[in-house]
Amino acid sequence: MQRPIEWTGPAGPSAEALWSLLVAADYLRGRMDAVCAAFRVTTSQFSVLRILRAACPDGYSRNEIARRMIDRAPDVTRLVDRLEQQQFVERARSSEDRRLSVTRITDLGLRLLSRVEPEIRKLERSCFCDSLSEQDCADLLRICQLVSPRTDARQYVDRAVPRSSMATSASWPSARPYKCQGRRSP
């Protein structure tokens, strides 16, 4: 990777690693943003939908959604408001605690995910599977976990469909429609 900026002062491997990781993250974020924008949602909205699909049929409170976000979005309420306006999610009061609002993904939200995810799989393959070995990916994950204790990818990977080898199959659920079974009333 070429240096994106001119280095001033001594630049050891740790400084280059820091800046290279930031540049790579920005590049990947830009590619992800472009994929999501093609479907008229933001990357953060896409993340909320994936989080809510994992919580089907129960849904999550705003605080639980915020806790599970990759980016610590300052205003999850506004994100959910926009998704609700687009009818991708619905909100209802909890039957146990009427003060608590629970957000659930709708069938329209599930259909959107089934359209976006094949494009995300293409991005994953082009950025990782086509250029990194499975061992490289495992090493990258290990290193990220050393850099940030919060980097536990397992909490962000959608477990709706069992994951097999990254090199041989997609790590996202298949494009077949995902149905939220047994939706409970609030």
pLDDT at 171: 35
Q: How far is CA 27 from the centre of its chain?
A: 16
Tokens describing residue 163: 């994951």
Cα-Cα end-to-end distance for the chain: 52
C-beta separation of 152 from 145 below 8 A: yes
Look at residue 88 in the predicted model and tell me its pLDDT: 97
For each of the chain's 186 residues, which pLDDT tens digit applies?
555 566 565 678 888 888 888 999 999 999 999 999 999 999 999 999 999 999 988 899 988 999 888 877 678 989 999 999 999 999 988 777 777 889 999 999 999 999 999 999 999 999 988 889 999 999 998 888 888 866 554 444 444 433 333 333 333 333 344 454 544 443
Distance, CA of 86 to CA of 65 (rounded, Å): 18
Question: What percentage of the chain's residues is helix, strand, coil (to nearest 5)?
Answer: 50, 5, 45
Domain layout of the chain by residue ranges = 15-123
pLDDT of residue 32: 96
> Are 89 and 48 contacting, i.e. CB atoms less than 8 angstroms apart?
yes
CA proximity to 121, closest of 161, 80, 181, 66: 161
> For residue 46, how many C-alpha atoms fall within 13 Å in the half-sphere facing its CB?
24
Distance CA 74, CA 64 (A): 13
pTM of the model: 0.73
- The domain defined by 15-123 folds into Arc Repressor Mutant, subunit A (1.10.10)
CA distance 54 to 158: 7
Place of tokens 């990977």: 157
